[in-house]
Amino acid sequence: MTGNVRCRIAALNTAADVYVINRENIKWLVDYLEKNRMPWPFDFVVIDELSSFKNWKAQRFKALKKVRPFIQRMVGLTGTPVPKGLMDLWAEVGIIDRGKRLGRFIGKFRETYFKPRAMNPYTGVVFDYIPLPGAEQKIYECISDITISMKSMDYLDMPEKISVKHEVEMDSDERALYDEMKKELVLAIDGEVIDAANAAVLSGKLQQMANGGLYANDGFVRIHDRKLDMLEDLIEEANGQSVLIAYWYQHDRERIMERLTHIGYKPREMKSCKDIEDWNAGKIQIALISPASAGHGLNIQKGGHILIWYSLCWSLEMYEQTCARLWRQGQKNVVTIHHIVCKGTVDTDVLAALESKSSTQQNLIDAVKAHLT
């Protein structure tokens, strides 16, 4: 049930055993049935990538919750159930069991298992929560009867995966700019003043600087080309094999495209079905992909087995999903995942958190604060 409205309606009215719909059209489906006074017709619902229903304020969550009483059985599938912390489980589990295990109200859930971590001292508004001692185990015990965890390596024929870290280093002048931003939160470069009002914003600024540039009020400011040089070396080492490059900031993409085009390559961004088709057919030697748009379940493992993280993302979910584009069933070669890391910067903290599978925004903020003290 995808495509335009006419296609969706035609599919809905076609007799079948299994109906498939994307999460973006869930609200449309519920509204359409309600508007036409049609009963909910599906007794068994499977949610692929359950973590996409972690936001209880989202329209898709509200729509599915409305028809949940008419669903006899529901199953949620996800490889990243808590991408931003245990708080995500309330909505994910709640849409499955209608609040029986973790409670019907988010406020009660917070009160039972969490305590405030950061709040506005003037308004009392809480910005972040941390689990109470023993809360994590209690939450897992509550949902254990409806939850099963299976590792792909134990059940699937997965290819070998090699993870490599490549460190680059700023010179003394470039490092001085980075340290100034880190310590003072305000930095003047070429007459431009760049503010980092809080640790979360600062972390983004530091990541940009580690990558080699920075967004300013009037455009982009170049700081160094260390990562571009390393990227060029890694592509040359690939010796003509297809390479997938993951980037986070738009200025990263622009600089990568400019550098590689200048030295004779034809980099292409992975955005359309045609791009995916050509990549899998071996027609693209260098492709760029953003973790934010890499998507769940994107099958591009046939086109290559080398992934280079030019700039890391802080989201564990996006990181793992992007790596899984190549490291998945059907891959015939050893998958090599390269990480280009700027030595002694926030890059090191982000990679360490990703590798330990403990990356939340608060971890990064804490890491930044630690550098400031």
What does the pLDDT read at residue 123? 79
What does the pLDDT read at residue 373? 47
Torsion of CA 167, 328, 85, 44, to 10 degrees: 170
What does the pLDDT read at residue 79? 78
Domains of the chain: 5-149 (no CATH), 156-372 (3.40.50.300)
Three-state DSSP class for residue 288: strand
The answer to whether the Cα torsion of 260, 262, 264, 269 is positive or negative is positive
> Inter-axis angle of helices 26-35 and 5-12, to 10 degrees?
70
What does the pLDDT read at residue 162? 94
- Pairing type for strands 192-195 and 186-189 reads antiparallel
CA 286 to chain centre: 22
Q: What is the pLDDT along the chain (373 residues), one digit of tens a residue?
A: 999 999 999 999 999 999 999 999 999 999 999 999 999 999 999 999 898 899 999 999 999 999 999 999 999 998 778 767 888 899 999 999 999 999 999 999 999 999 987 777 777 788 778 899 999 899 999 999 999 887 776 777 778 899 999 999 999 999 998 888 887 765 555 555 554 456 667 788 889 999 999 887 777 889 999 999 999 999 999 999 999 999 999 999 999 999 999 999 999 998 888 998 999 999 999 999 999 877 555 788 889 999 999 999 888 888 888 998 899 888 889 999 999 999 999 999 889 888 876 545 455 445 544 554 4
What does the pLDDT read at residue 63? 97
What tokens does 303 get?
């086109």
Closest by CA position to 282, among listed 303, 305, 307, 306: 303
What does the pLDDT read at residue 199? 62
What does the pLDDT read at residue 372? 46
Neighbours of 282 (CB within 10 A): 12
Strands (E), the chain: 44-48, 73-77, 114-119, 126-131, 161-168, 186-189, 192-195, 213-216, 219-222, 243-246, 268-269, 286-289, 306-309, 335-342
Contact 145, 166 (CB under 8 A): no
At CA 48, angle to CA 354 and CA 330, rounded to 5?
70
